[in-house]
């Protein structure tokens, strides 16, 4: 995807002042052991004026790991990067890295385990932007440690299902008007090879019946992202908005992979760096294709359950009810 160029001349003195204040507050926060919550609106309203001619890119879960690598892979003159995550300090660090190579950038804080916080994130973006060129649904929770107990989100949903899928479905659906306004634009969902062995458990989609297994939950959530990709491709045909899913490859050297490796074993030795994985995501974002699942750099096979239109309609109806968009 070609970057849009601009005549951006730098950040205004107001932005510099705001960042100075925020930076000093952050230092005081660290000094006194408190958690600083910086309202995203504080920086957003100022920086939104510096978007002309820039490709606007949002990467969820981009304060570390693969997401950070993806955000920085797109950073440079001609882009505006929306960094998202839960940790303010890490988020601002990525913003500074992106700006150092010519991007404008901002950080937005939201926990995808809370649909209320996701709603706040969406409202801020709708308020401050009139278009979106690229949405990368990256944030996620991995398989977890062996025999880890089932966890629920703030909304009472199985945690992986909400963070990896439901919250991204809500973000994507609510930001479709901005994506249409930015056409040609793209939605890229970071899925996993686990989609191939996953199953949508219609009789127990929240996996409440024991025994609970993190791998089962992870596979279901990643397959759900492929369902979403195929639905979007069908719905958005002819609009200039395309959708793909991508498996970023092997075992990445990230916290998500490390978490599962309390006991060394197969799959516990990283085979790729986050930057390696980011290149597969970038390739998916630059591809003109829609409605496909990339297994790293090649088109991969999609789980047969996702290929049945009736099954996808049933799942979409259920999902829309769960996020309150039915």
Quote the CA–CA distance of 199 and 202 in Å, as a whole number. Answer: 9
Tell me whether residue 320 is exposed, middle or buried, using C-beta atoms within 10 angstroms of its C-beta: 0 to 12, 13 to 18, 19 or more: middle
Contacts of 33 (CB under 8 A, 6+ apart): none
How many C-alpha atoms does 179 have within 13 Å on its Cβ side?
22
Coil, helix or strand for 266? Answer: coil
Q: Give the chain's end-to-end CA distance (angstroms, integer).
A: 33
Q: Which long-range contacts (CB under 8 A, 24 or more apart) does 154-157 make?
A: 154/111, 154/113, 154/114, 154/115, 154/116, 155/114, 155/115, 157/206, 157/322
User: What number of residues does the chain have?
Assistant: 326
Closest to 82 in 3D by CA, of 16, 132, 38, 26: 132
Q: Is 293 a residue of the active site?
A: no
Q: Name the catalytic one among 129, 218, 251, 293.
A: 218
Closest to 253 in 3D by CA, of 261, 241, 245: 261
Our CA angle for 151, 165, 68, nearest 5°, is 95
Q: Which residues are catalytically annotated?
A: 218
């Amino acid at each position: 995807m070609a970057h849009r160029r601009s005549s951006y001349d730098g950040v205004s003195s107001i932005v510099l002042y705001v960042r100075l204040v925020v930076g000093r507050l952050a230092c005081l926060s660290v000094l006194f052991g408190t958690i600083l919550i910086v309202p995203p609106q504080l920086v957003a309203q100022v920086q939104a004026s510096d978007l002309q001619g820039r490709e606007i890119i949002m990467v969820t879960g981009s304060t570390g790991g693969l997401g950070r690598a993806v955000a920085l892979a797109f950073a440079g003159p001609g882009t505006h990067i929306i960094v998202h995550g839960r940790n303010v300090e890490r988020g601002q660090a990525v913003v500074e890295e992106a700006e150092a190579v010519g991007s404008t950038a901002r950080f937005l804080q939201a926990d995808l385990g809370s649909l209320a916080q996701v709603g706040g994130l969406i409202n801020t973006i709708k308020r401050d932007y009139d278009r979106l060129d690229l949405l990368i649904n990256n944030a996620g929770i991995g398989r977890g440690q062996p025999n880890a107990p089932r966890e629920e989100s703030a909304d009472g949903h199985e945690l992986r299902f909400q963070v990896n899928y439901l919250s991204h479905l809500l973000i994507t659906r609510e930001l479709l008007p901005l994506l249409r306004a930015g056409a040609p634009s793209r939605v890229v969902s970071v899925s996993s090879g686990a989609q191939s062995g996953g199953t949508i458990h219609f009789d127990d989609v929240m996996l409440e019946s024991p025994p609970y297994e993190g791998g089962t939950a992870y596979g279901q959530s990643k397959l759900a992202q492929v369902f979403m990709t195929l639905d979007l491709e069908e719905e958005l045909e002819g609009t200039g908005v395309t959708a793909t899913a991508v498996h970023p490859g092997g075992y990445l050297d990230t916290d998500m992979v490390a978490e599962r490796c309390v006991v060394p074993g197969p799959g516990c030795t990283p085979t790729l760096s986050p930057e390696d994985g980011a290149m597969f995501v970038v390739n998916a974002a630059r591809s003109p294709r829609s409605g496909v699942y990339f297994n790293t750099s090649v088109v991969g096979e999609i789980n047969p359950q996702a290929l049945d239109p009736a099954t996808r309609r049933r799942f979409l109806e259920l999902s829309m009810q769960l996020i309150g968009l039915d």
